[in-house]
Amino acid sequence: MDITILGIESSCDDTSAAVLRNNVLLSNVIASQEVHRKYGGVIPELASRAHQQNIIPVVDTALREAGVTADRIDAIAFTRGPGLLGSLLVGVSFAKGLSIAHNIPMVEVNHLQGHILSHFIDLPDRKLPHPDFPFLCLLVSGGHTQIVRVDSPLEIEIIGTTIDDAAGEAFDKCAKVMGLPYPGGPVIDRLAAQGDDKAFRFARPRVDDLDYSFSGLKTSFLYTVRDEMEADPEFIEKRKADLCASLQKTIVEILLEKLVRASKATGIKDIAIAGGVSANSGLRNGIVAEGERRGWRTFLPEFKFTTDNAAMIAVSGYYRYKNGLLATPDSAPVARLEELL
Ligand code: KG4
Ligand code: ZN
């Protein structure tokens, strides 16, 4: 029997709702919050307020585009965390209200699991490539950088993680140093295309096992820019593209090195990437090239599934619902990943 899932995502600065029939996407509506741009980062209080304004029209549009009324939904999947508490609370409270009003069961979703399971969404007119189990996923977002081993949709083990900054944070913070707008990742990606990626060398982390570190790179980037600016105040303006290209290359190499090690250690050769930074062209090209060299099957998400979206929450909700994992009415949002595990 077909299962229709409404997904709701509100963990950071995008309000999103999506409808799936089984794993097939019927609609995916995202309202991005422009209000944070002028502050150079997400302001939590402003994010919660914008979610409150957006959530009803966004859900309404998602249902309408899918041609589904609320009473036809089998379950409401919502992001429980990790994320900004005030933002999460809007999605959780809305899900509860809708659940009570229409007597629909709810399913809690871990946002990071959502990013990973976005690889199992299909489009109405097109099946997308799905990795086989077990596979490895490099999860790279604004808040997290992890290598995970995925044995089934519900069995996910973190085998490597960042000990300080996330890869997305490294992009965003270095962008800020150069005076680029938030979020910096996509801007650096664009500028890097015109630069020389060998122009600058930045510090590389020395971290054991499969873990990552990006704070040393960030500091070394900061010092380079500061020293050069003292000598020439026009430095950033003149060398922006070279700085971006060199920084992006360094981040991609750091990410790939541990991923290669994880594949060797586990013998797993189905390799996926997910999360906002998986939109990065340097990372996408790098994974494909590494895969060709090493006999991997590589899985790159469609661009619309890289950054935060409710389709990934709905598909995770679908697998949880099928396994009878329903949320209770006292479900509450959690800010940190550790509280979810
Ligand atoms: O997954 P996501 O939308 O939100 C979180 O869950 O954190 O990821 C947002 C991050 C930001 O740091 C943003 O700069 C980065 O993804 N990002 C990129 C690109 N597009 C988004 N980083 C590098 N290159 C891109 N093209
Ligand atoms: Zn995310």
238-264 pLDDT, tens digit each: 999 999 999 999 999 999 999 999 999
Closest listed residue to residue 131, CA positions, set 145, 123, 120, 140: 120
- Say which ligand is closest to the CA of 186: 1
Q: Which residues surround ligand 2, an ion (CB under 5 A)?
A: 141, 308
- For a pocket test of ligand 1, which of 138, 277, 306 has the largest count of ligand atoms closer than 8 A to its C-beta? 277
Ligand 1 neighbour 143 (Cβ under 6 A)? yes
pLDDT of 196 reads 98
CA of 290 from ligand 2 middle (Å) equals: 25
Of 32-46, 53-67, 216-230, 287-301, where does mean pLDDT reach its minimum? 32-46
CA of 168 from ligand 1 middle (Å) equals: 5
pLDDT of 207 reads 96
State phi, psi for 45 to the nearest 5 degrees. Answer: -65, -40
pLDDT of 42 reads 87
Ligand 1 neighbour 141 (Cβ under 6 A)? yes
Contact 154, 314 (CB under 8 A): no
Would you say residue 305 has pLDDT above 90? yes
Local structure of 248: helix, strand or coil: helix
pLDDT of 40 reads 80
Ligand 1 neighbour 23 (Cβ under 6 A)? no
Ligand 1 neighbour 82 (Cβ under 6 A)? no
Taking residues 191-219, what's their average pLDDT? 97
**Ligand 1 atom 3: residue of nearest CA:** 307
**Ligand 1 atom 22: residue of nearest CA:** 185
Q: How far apart are CA 223 and CA 316, in angstroms?
A: 42
Helical segments of the chain, H only: 44-66, 85-102, 111-117, 167-177, 184-192, 215-231, 235-266, 281-294, 311-322, 337-340
Ligand 1 neighbour 12 (Cβ under 6 A)? yes
Taking the CA of residue 112 as reference, the ligand 1 atom at the shortest distance is 6
pLDDT of 144 reads 95
Contact 29, 61 (CB under 8 A): yes
Taking residues 97-120, what's their average pLDDT? 98
Would you say residue 78 has pLDDT above 80? yes
91-106 pLDDT, tens digit each: 999 999 999 999 999 9
Taking residues 304-317, what's their average pLDDT? 97
Would you say residue 340 has pLDDT above 90? no
- For a pocket test of ligand 1, which of 33, 141, 145, 312 has the largest count of ligand atoms closer than 8 A to its C-beta? 141
- For a pocket test of ligand 1, which of 180, 307, 312, 337 has the largest count of ligand atoms closer than 8 A to its C-beta? 307
Q: How far apart are CA 170 and CA 168, in angstroms?
A: 5
Taking the CA of residue 282 as reference, the ligand 1 atom at the shortest distance is 24
Mean residue pLDDT across the chain: 96
Closest listed residue to residue 306, CA positions, set 210, 215, 185, 134: 185
CA of 111 from ligand 2 middle (Å) equals: 6
- For a pocket test of ligand 1, which of 84, 138, 171, 177 has the largest count of ligand atoms closer than 8 A to its C-beta? 171
pLDDT of 41 reads 83
31-64 pLDDT, tens digit each: 988 888 878 888 999 999 999 999 999 999 999 9
Would you say residue 341 has pLDDT above 80? no
DSSP character string of 169-226: HHHHHHHHHTTPPSSHHHHHHHHHTTS-TTS---------TT-B--HHHHHHHHHHHH
CA of 182 from ligand 1 middle (Å) equals: 10
pLDDT of 277 reads 98
pLDDT of 129 reads 97
